[in-house]
Amino acid sequence: MTRWMTLGCAAVVVCGHAAWAHAQTATAVTPAPAAAAAAATGTQDNRMVLADNESFLMPLDDMKNVHPGYPENLLGLNLPPRTVCLRVGIDEKGAVTVVARAPTSEFCPKGAEPEFLAASETAARTWKFDPALRCVFRNTKDKDRAVASCDGGKGIPQAVTLVYRFRFEQVNGKPNVHVIGG
């Protein structure tokens, strides 16, 4: 069984959670070259459109990707939770190419201390991924048979931009950083 098939099967199990997570994190997938333009302008007009015989697999993050640390100089301030949102551009090889602040929204408030933004950007720039794939099948039946994989079709690596939300908080005096999205 390939890595994609194993992870794809796991993804099918969590589909219900994915819809909720999508709403919570405002995840956006945009193809290149729109990915770079969207990151620079904050727009999401060029969303990928798939044909009936195509499907899409999100990029898989490397298990070694590290979360940002809570800035030590802010620990003693006992700040309430802070959130930073970033757009992370990922190329066809899975490398991070763009890291930029995401537009302000209901889930991405403005106003976190610059140290939180810097910690988030530094961590995101080190991340690695298996690339996103546009799966092209001969027909819709072949597509339907491929459960969360490109099996029976052709996987074409795609550059994408994803939005990640970093939530910095202190729980019982200990720093916690949650990364949501992708």
Q: Kindly write down the DSSP assignment for every residue of 84-117, as one continuous string.
A: EEEEEEE-TTSBEEEEEEPPP-SSS-S---HHHH
Distance between CA atoms of 81 and 102, rounded to whole angstroms? 18
Q: Which two tokens stand for residue 117?
A: 């933004």
Report, as ranges of residue numbers, the positions in the chain whose pLDDT lies below 70: 1-46
Instruction: Return the ∠ at Cα 178 (arms to 148 and 159), rounded to 5°.
Output: 45
The pair of three-digit structure tokens given for residue 66, joined into one six-digit string: 């590290």
- Tell me how far apart the alpha carbons of residues 144 and 142 are, in angstroms, rounded to a whole number: 5
Tell me the C-alpha distance between 113 and 96, whole Å: 24
Q: What is the pLDDT of residue 172?
A: 87
Q: What percent of the chain has pLDDT over 70?
A: 75
With CA atoms as reference, report the closest residue to 67 among 108, 119, 3.
Answer: 119
At 158, list the tokens: 């795609």
Per-residue confidence (pLDDT) for residue 44, from 0 to 100 = 52
Average pLDDT across the chain, whole number: 81
> Which amino acid is residue 140, in one-letter code?
T
